[in-house]
Amino acid sequence: MPARERELFWLRKKHRKRLIQQPFPDDWLEFIERNVLFYHYLPPEKQRELLGLVRVFLAEKRFEGCGGLEITDEIRLTITAQACILLLNLDADFYPKLRSILVYPYAFVAPAVSRHPDGTVSEGFQPRLGESWSQGNVVLSWGDVLRGAANLGDGRNVVIHEFAHQLDSESGFCNGAPLLPRRSMYREWSRVLGREYEALVDSVEQGRMTVIDKYGATSPAEFFAVVTELFFEKPLELESFHPELYEQLKTYYGQDPASLMRAKAIEKPPIWLN
């Protein structure tokens, strides 16, 4: 690493450390506690770690309102907390390719190319909840951000989905194979995720039900984003029906959401058991 780059690296690292050590404002925490359900499943030390990551993210990324939406602290914190959940225990550099998060009030319309079974291709427009661009932007629908953060039962979370794409693209390609901690991991990753992807494609073609959303059969990149949503939103189901897939994601993210949810269920049993 050239001397100038090395100097910038250490200055950035020092600045991030200062940000992480700063007290977290109570009014900021209120938005996260109210809007991000997954936060309550984290143990106290991981909650504190997440808040530190949130501070760094907010200092380094820019939010832009679209379609007449005015960016508020609630919007910035709700999105940032979910994006940073993926970074807990992950040796990643705060989405280095990302510069801006563009937020629409509701689903937005974007150009789309559709490929049909007969080989023909048509162009048009489709409503979107979110997009991840390789040029350094993530686009989100605020209404769907709120719904995804508040409901862990549907397995859908547009922030987690689009930021999984950001992680995937850090290798230079968005192909369902993010930068893994060790090169030796790629063989098993390819075996398990490749097999599970092909099984999903077959299930969709045969019309069979599956715990993994059929949108994951679109491509390996979409499969990785969809199963990441499931990993954080419905980990018990993913662990039960796709144990090897769950283990690969557990190793990559360094997290075990299924254990967190089992622990929380024991700690606070359903009200009808009291």
Q: pLDDT digits over 167-187, tens only?
A: 999 988 899 999 998 899 999
Q: Please report, to the nearest 10 degrees, the dihedral formed by the alpha carbons of residues 145, 151, 156, 158 taken in order.
A: 10
- Residue 5 located in a structural domain: no
- Residue 2 located in a structural domain: no
Tell me the residue range of the domain where 249 lies. Answer: 11-273
- Residue 190 located in a structural domain: yes
Q: Is the pLDDT of residue 270 over 70?
A: no
Distance CA 261, CA 236 (A): 8
- Residue 81 located in a structural domain: yes
- Residue 69 located in a structural domain: yes
CATH number of the domain that residue 148 is part of? 3.40.390.10
3-state helix, strand, coil in the chain (%, to 5): 60, 10, 30
Q: Is the pLDDT of residue 117 over 70?
A: no
Confidence of residue 116 (pLDDT cuts 50, 70, 90): very low
Q: Model's pTM, two decimal places? A: 0.88
Confidence of residue 217 (pLDDT cuts 50, 70, 90): very high
- Residue 75 located in a structural domain: yes
The least confident of 134-138, 220-224, 253-257 is 134-138
The domain total for the chain is 1
Work out the number of other CB atoms within 10 angstroms of the CB of residue 84.
25
Average pLDDT taken over every residue of the chain = 89
- Residue 6 located in a structural domain: no
160: closest CA among 47, 37, 16? Answer: 37
- Residue 222 located in a structural domain: yes
Give Cβ neighbours of residue 28 (< 8 Å, ≥ 6 apart).
Answer: 54, 73, 77
Q: Is the pLDDT of residue 248 over 90?
A: yes
